[in-house]
Amino acid sequence: MLGRVAVVGTGLIGASAGLAARRAGAGRVSGWDPDGDVLRVAAERGAVEAAGTLAEAVAGADLVVVAAPVAELPATVRGVLDAASQGCAVTDVGSTKSAVCAAAGGDGRFIGGHPICGAETRGPERASAELFEGATWFLTPAAGTGPGLLRRVHGFVTALGARPVAIDPDAHDRLVALTSHLPHVLANVLLNQAGASRIDGHDPLQAAGGSLRDMTRVAGANPRIWVDIFLDNREALAAALGDQRRRLEQVEAALAAGDAGFLARWIAEAAGNRRRLLATAYDDPGALQRLRVHLPDRPGVLAGIFQALGAERINVEDFEMEHLSTDRGGTLTILVAGEREAGRAANLLEAQGYGVVVAPVIDE
Amino acid sequence: MLGRVAVVGTGLIGASAGLAARRAGAGRVSGWDPDGDVLRVAAERGAVEAAGTLAEAVAGADLVVVAAPVAELPATVRGVLDAASQGCAVTDVGSTKSAVCAAAGGDGRFIGGHPICGAETRGPERASAELFEGATWFLTPAAGTGPGLLRRVHGFVTALGARPVAIDPDAHDRLVALTSHLPHVLANVLLNQAGASRIDGHDPLQAAGGSLRDMTRVAGANPRIWVDIFLDNREALAAALGDQRRRLEQVEAALAAGDAGFLARWIAEAAGNRRRLLATAYDDPGALQRLRVHLPDRPGVLAGIFQALGAERINVEDFEMEHLSTDRGGTLTILVAGEREAGRAANLLEAQGYGVVVAPVIDE
């Protein structure tokens, strides 16, 4: 049903696409990578049949997936379009779309793609057919893309377990500038600001609470990937950064003026947006309750808690266990829906001797 | 050993301090709150013996804990110092320290305090003696504070399970501006920026990846608390925001100039800071490996995974389960120490049919 697939660039994403395509019943998956070792490992993992050249990999394919680093995408896609047949669909998996779509020069066979699977480019050793399960996968068809080719790529993405979302390439780049690239920049800036200061002999990083830790999880991410992404999307990212700076100036002005009304409205706006954000993941974000429990660093503690919750059929929506320090144990956070369920869970944990703090996730 | 304790303000934090003091063997814990219902519930929970007035609560106490909202702290602390005996230590639990210490006017009996326990002020219903376990608890003794009183407050904090850290009040406020108040502001700004835009019909909040979600967890936090905190610490916070803006301008300049070298150094600096941040919680952050697994939204799935990991004695450092959406299951993230342990865990999960993506937590 998927026909013949070729994968150009057989790192983690490319090899995973190969494995997923095979699982979904692709007739044949050939592959090529400029790095012979990467190609060999992908072939050994059963992700692709190794071809000797890019042209050989692409020959006879119904669909080519280009999984090259962002900086190399434009040239690689041009090369693939030159080598591919007239009826072949060509797509990619890059984090930005404007440059690569421009490089394709409006060729109707090219449909840009970007799976949001959180995986950074690395080797094919841990490639997985399940990598794309549940992921949003942006597609940017060209004006000249025929419905047949679009259907083919759409079907491919769906067969891999992802959810295709069509979007204009420039809109895509402005969207990810806001949802991914700006957060990465802010995480780096915030962590470097906190890490650069010593305050009266105290290291802010030693005193960091959960908010700083949550906000800097993506800081310091692989520079070999992110420098190219930031530069490739510099226009949209700069616009987002400028907007961010203007918003910070507004807050500074409100602080200087002691404008409690502005701050209250601004926080309320954020609470409303957080409700909308959580509504993508939960049926009723307003009902979510957060339970926090401090746990000693002792084996078996967690198993005991989850067994008890399971035995009482308390439905845990999400949870998180995070170390406070090497000698102070950690914090277990559990999300449940509804105050009644939260009360049951809290009573159960308190009966086990734990102190539980319950609070609504959205606290307006 | 703790002597007689009084708690003024018997909301979540005050009542928890009362419960913890009783557990730690305080001779008597009296309490008062301007809200009669709050005081009644705290007394019913066994956190305090309800006094009729502030003066009555404080009379004969060796230590008074003032747990009032930030905006009311200065006046309340002055009232407590007026009512307390000459040998009584007075401390508080407010999120900022300069204003309340200034209000105490250098009275050697006042030692400002701030437990970092992540709990926001709310009712005493869920007060817990374990709230402060493992928490950092800042203390800001005045110049005239005698060693006996400081030892008393230090011993109290330690008896509650927390770790006292002495700091100058102004330094404290600059420190929390950086580690807590700035992250809260950035979370609000980022979420309001993403929430305000529609890009070519797409809602950025619908397309949000993990980074935006992680970075906006504390957005929209209770305005009744946070407006006062922001305003009370406006000077240190404005300085931190100004520094943030200047750092954003640097990044914008580097993007405009296409300065890959700057961006690479800047990311590397963030990676180094992240290593330092994680070193507070883990013995060897560089060895940490992150496993990510996509899970269907099906009961029992998690129990099966944790049982299997436990049976193989794979030591899970931290973990997180997060919903992707109501119909697309979620992502389980597991942190383990060392590539060998990560390989064992990945093989185990793959044998159960899950796709696993493994990556180092610090990826330099």
Confidence at residue A298, expressed as pLDDT on a 0 to 100 scale: 66
Interface test with A, best of B45, B132, B168, B248 (most A CBs within 10 A): B248
> How far apart are alpha carbons B69 and B35 in whole angstroms?
13
Residue in B closest to A317 by C-alpha: B323
Q: pLDDT band for position B314 (50/70/90)? A: confident
| pLDDT computed for residue B328 by the predictor | 65
How far apart (Å, rounded) are the C-alpha atoms in residues B224 and A209?
A: 21
Instruction: Report which of A8, A168, A183, A158 is spatially closest to residue A97, judged by C-alpha positions.
Output: A168
Q: How far apart are CA A287 and CA A277, in angstroms?
A: 14
Residue B290, strand partner residues: B335, B359
Paired tokens of B315 = 């030591």
The reply to whether A194 touches chain B by the CB within 8 Å rule is yes
Q: Which of residues 308-347 of B touch A (CB under 8 A)?
A: 310, 315-326, 328-331, 346
DSSP state of A35: S
Take residue A32 and report the two structure tokens written for it: 């090529």
B56 touching chain A per CB within 8 A? no
Distance separating alpha carbons of residues B31 and B19, to the nearest angstrom: 11
- The strands making up A163-166's β-sheet, listed across from edge to edge, are A49-50, A28-32, A4-8, A63-66, A89-92, A110-115, A136-141, A163-166
Task: Measure the CA dihedral B79/B80/B81/B87, to 10°.
Answer: 160
Most confident of A125-129, B36-40, B209-213, B322-326: B36-40
Say yes or no for a CB contact (<8 Å) between B244 and A193. yes
pLDDT at B170: 96
How much is the average pLDDT of B108-132? 86
Closest CA–CA distance from residue A159 to any residue of chain B (Å): 15
Q: What digits encode the pLDDT tens for the residues A200-220?
A: 999 999 887 788 988 998 999
Domains of chain B: 4-167 (3.40.50.720), 172-258 (1.10.3660.10), 285-360 (3.30.70.260)
Q: Return the closest-CA partner of residue B233 out of B184, B277, B188, B193.
A: B184
Point out the residue among A183, A189, A276 whose CB comes nearest to the CB of B212. Answer: A183
Q: Which of these ranges, A276-290, A345-359, B297-311, has the smallest mean pLDDT?
A: B297-311
pLDDT tens, position by position, B128-149: 888 898 889 999 998 889 999 9
B182 touches chain A (CB under 8 A): yes
3-state secondary structure labels for all residues of chain B: CCCEEEEECCCHHHHHHHHHHHHCCCCEEEEECCCHHHHHHHHHCCCCEECCCHHHHHCCCCEEEECCCHHHHHHHHHHHHHHCCCCCEEEECCCCCHHHHHHCCCCCCEEEEEECCCCCCCCHHHCCCCCCCCCEEEEEECCCCCHHHHHHHHHHHHHCCCEEEECCHHHHHHHHHHHHHHHHHHHHHHHHHHHHCCECCECCCCCCCHHHHHHCCCCCCCHHHHHHHHHHCHHHHHHHHHHHHHHHHHHHHHHHHCCHHHHHHHHHHHHHHHHHHHHCCCCCHHHEEEEEEEECCCCCHHHHHHHHHHHCCCCEEEEEEEECCCCCCEEEEEEEECHHHHHHHHHHHHHCCCCEEEEECCCC
Q: How far is CA B114 from the centre of its chain?
A: 11
> Quick check: A13 and A115 in contact, CB under 8 A?
yes
The predicted pLDDT at position B325 comes to 66
Judged by CB atoms closer than 8 Å, whether chains meet at B215 and A186 is answered as: yes
**Lowest-confidence region among A56-65, A200-209, A225-234, B48-57:** A200-209
Helix (H) or strand (E) holding A332: strand A330-337
Rounded to an integer, the average pLDDT of B250-261 is: 97
Collapse the DSSP code of A140 into the 3-class scheme (helix H, G, I; strand E, B; otherwise coil) and give the result.
strand
Report H helices in chain A: 12-23, 36-44, 54-58, 73-83, 98-103, 147-159, 169-176, 182-196, 210-215, 223-232, 234-257, 260-279, 301-311, 339-351
Exposure letters B5-29 (e unless 16+ CB within 10 A, then b): bbbbbbbbbbbbbbbbbbebebebb
Q: What is the pLDDT of residues A138-187, one digit of tens each?
A: 999 988 899 999 999 999 999 999 999 999 999 999 999 999 999 999 99
H helix runs in A145-279, sequence order: 147-159, 169-176, 182-196, 210-215, 223-232, 234-257, 260-279
Does residue A330 sit in helix, strand or coil? strand
B202-249 confidence digits (pLDDT tens): 999 988 778 898 899 899 988 989 999 999 999 999 999 999 999 999
List, as ranges, residues 58-117 from A with C-beta within 8 Å of B. Answer: 116
Minimal C-alpha gap between A166 and chain B (Å): 10
Instruction: Give B352's pLDDT tier (boundaries 50, 70, 90).
Output: confident
The answer to whether A194 contacts B179, with C-beta atoms less than 8 Å apart, is yes
- Measured in degrees and rounded to the nearest 5, phi and psi for residue B348 equal -60, -45
In this structure, what token pair is assigned to residue A75? 């040239």
Nearest CA in chain B to A246: B245
Contacts of A126 in chain B (CB under 8 A): 346, 356-359
Residue range A101-126: mean pLDDT, rounded: 88
Report the percent of chain B where pLDDT is more than 70: 96
Q: Check CB contact of B23 with chain A, cutoff 8 Å.
A: no
pLDDT of residue A97: 97
CB of B319 within 8 A of CB of B333?
yes
Most confident of A87-91, A213-217, A353-357, B323-327: A87-91
User: Are the C-beta atoms of residues A191 and A221 closer than 8 Å to each other?
Assistant: no
Average pLDDT over residues A318-335: 79
Mark yes or no for CB contact B223/A328 under 8 Å: no
d(CA A129, CA A45): 11
How far is A287 from chain B, CA to nearest CA, in Å? Answer: 14
Task: Give the model's pLDDT for residue A209.
Answer: 75
Q: What is the mean pLDDT of chain B?
A: 92
In this predicted structure, which of A179-183, A258-262, B163-167, B294-298 has the lowest mean pLDDT? B294-298
- DSSP bridge pairs for B113: B139
Residue A302 has pLDDT above 80, yes or no: no
A220/B274 touch (CB, cutoff 8 Å), yes or no: yes
Q: What is the pLDDT of residue A207?
A: 82
Specify the pLDDT at position A314.
86
As for the ipTM of the complex, it is 0.92
Beta pairing, strands B110-115 & B316-323? unpaired
Look at residue A299 in the predicted model and tell me its pLDDT. Answer: 62
pLDDT score at A159: 97
N- to C-terminal Cα separation, chain A: 51
Residue B81 has pLDDT above 70, yes or no: yes
Closest CB from B244, B270, B326 relative to A219 = B270
**8 Å CB contact between A92 and A112:** yes
Q: Compute the nearest-CA separation of B356 from chain A (Å).
A: 7
Six-digit token string for B30 = 């009296």
- Confidence category of residue B306, pLDDT binned at 50, 70, 90: confident
Measured CA distances, A62 to A156, A318, B116 (Å):
11, 41, 59
- Burial classification of residue B148, based on how many CB atoms lie within 10 Å of its CB (0-12 exposed, 13-18 middle, 19 or more buried): exposed
Residue A119 in this model has a pLDDT that exceeds 70: no
- Closest-CA residue to B87 (of B141, B152, B138): B152
Q: Which residues of B are less than 8 Å from A97 in CB distance?
A: none
CA separation for the pair B4, B162 (Å, rounded): 19
Across the interface, whether the CB atoms of B130 and A226 are under 8 A apart is answered no
- pLDDT at residue number B322: 82
Please give the share of chain B, as a percent, with pLDDT higher than 90: 69
Average pLDDT over residues A245-259: 97
- Hey, what are B295's tokens? 């899970």
Interface check A302 vs B, CB under 8 A? yes
**Of B192, B247, B260, which has the smallest distance from its Cβ to A193's Cβ?**
B247
Per cent of chain A over pLDDT 70 is 96
Strand partners, B255: none
Report angle CA B139, B144, B149 to the nearest 5 degrees: 55
C-alpha–C-alpha distance, residues A101 and A115, integer Å: 16
Three-state secondary structure call for residue A114: strand
Q: Please measure the distance between the N-terminal and C-terminal CA atoms of chain B and give it in whole angstroms.
A: 51
Q: Tell me whether residues B214 and A215 touch, CB distance under 8 A.
A: yes
What per-residue confidence (pLDDT) applies to B97?
Answer: 97
Judging contacts by C-beta atoms under 8 Å, the chain B residues touching residue A311 are: none
pLDDT confidence tier of residue B125, bands split at 50, 70 and 90 = confident
Write down the pLDDT at residue B281: 84
Q: How far is CA A87 from the centre of its chain?
A: 32
